[in-house]
Amino acid sequence: MKINFTVNGRPAVVETRPDQMLVDVLNGLGCASVRETCGIGVCGTCTVLLDGEPVSGCLLLAPLAHGRAVTTVEGLGGEDPVQIAFAEAHAFQCGYCTPGMVLASKRLLEENAHPGEEEIRLALAGNLCRCGSYVKIVEAVQRAAERKEDPWTS
């Protein structure tokens, strides 16, 4: 079946099986940062934003993205305050979970401009980092919150 949607602001038309998962379709479109790893929607590695809401690409049937807007970390352009804050805070080791972590953090900051440490820990509990970079990830989110406030950097 055919689905029409936008990926990182660009329209895309894709022929897909009805039981295809979104992660596979995005990989086919060159969004390599979205990787299936747990396969059951618990690790957050394949997090993408669907109309701005975080979803697990390994659980969402691709046809459900029809008519909607998908954002992956490739679509943030590299200068997003959250991306910059993650780099400045050294909030990653292997970096495999980072795309999902960045997107989940971005959504958190839209909901809550100044989350406390505990709120950040809970909001990111669905994004697993086996390297255990959480201390610096929390710092990165706080740094991104400050960065978004600062008119000179946002």
Partner 1 sequence: MTDSRVTGSARYAQDAEQPGMLHARIVRSPFPHARVGSIDPTAVPAGCVVLLPDDIRGLGRYGVQVRDQTVLALDRARYAGDPVAAVAAATPRESEEAAALVLVDYEELPAVVDVLDAVRPDAPLVHAAHEVSSSQAAYFGLRPENGTNICHRFRIRHGDVEAGFAAADVIVEETFTTAGAQHAAMEPHACIARWQDGTLEVHTGSQTPFNLREELAGIFALEPDQVRVVCPPMGGSFGAKTFLRTEAIAAALSRKAGRPVKLVLPRDEEWQTLNRHPAVLAVKLGASADGTLLAKQVTCYADTGAYADCGPGVAQKMGFAAPGPYQIPNVSVDACCVYTNTPPNGAFRGYGQMQSAWASERAMDLLADRLGLDPLELRLKNVLREGDRYCTGETMHDIHFAECLEAAAAAIGWRHGRTGKGLSVVLKGMQTPSRAAVEIEAEPDGTYVLRCATTEMGQGAIRAISLLAAELLGVESERVRFPSPDTTLVPYDTRTTSSRSTYMMSRALEAAVRDLGASGGRRGHGEIVDEGGLDPDTGQGVASSHWHQGAAAAEVRVDEDTGKIEVVRLHAAIYAGRVVNRPGAELQNEGSMIMGLGTALFEQVVLADGQVANANLSDYAIPSAADLPQRLTHQLLERQGAEPHGLGETALPPVPPAIGNAVASLDLHVTDLPLTPEVVLGAVDRALGVRT
- Confirm or reject binding of residue 61 to partner 1 (CB under 8 A): no
- Confirm or reject binding of residue 79 to partner 1 (CB under 8 A): yes
- Confirm or reject binding of residue 113 to partner 1 (CB under 8 A): no
The sheet carrying 53-56 orders its strands as: 10-15, 2-7, 69-71, 47-50, 53-56
Instruction: Report the candidate in 15, 80, 94, 19 with the shortest Cα–Cα distance to residue 49.
Output: 80
Residue with tokens 């400050």: 146
Choose which of 76, 108, 144, 145 interacts with partner 1 (CB under 8 A). Answer: 76
Give whichever of 64 and 95 is closer to partner 1, judged by the CB atom. 95
Q: 103 with 41: CB under 8 angstroms?
A: no
Q: What is the CA radius of gyration of the chain?
A: 15
Q: Give CA–CA dist 49/36, Å, rounded.
A: 15
Choose which of 131, 146, 149, 154 interacts with partner 1 (CB under 8 A). Answer: 131
Part in contact with partner 1 (CB under 8 A); list of ranges 62-70, 94-102, 106-114, 142-150: 94-102
Both tokens of 99, joined, read: 């795309």
In the complex, least distance from residue 85 CB atom to partner 1, rounded to whole angstroms: 9
- Confirm or reject binding of residue 121 to partner 1 (CB under 8 A): yes
Check residue 54 and report its DSSP letter: E
Site of interaction with partner 1 (CB under 8 A): 31-33, 35, 37-40, 42-43, 45, 72-74, 76, 78-79, 83-84, 86-87, 90, 92-99, 102, 120-122, 124-138
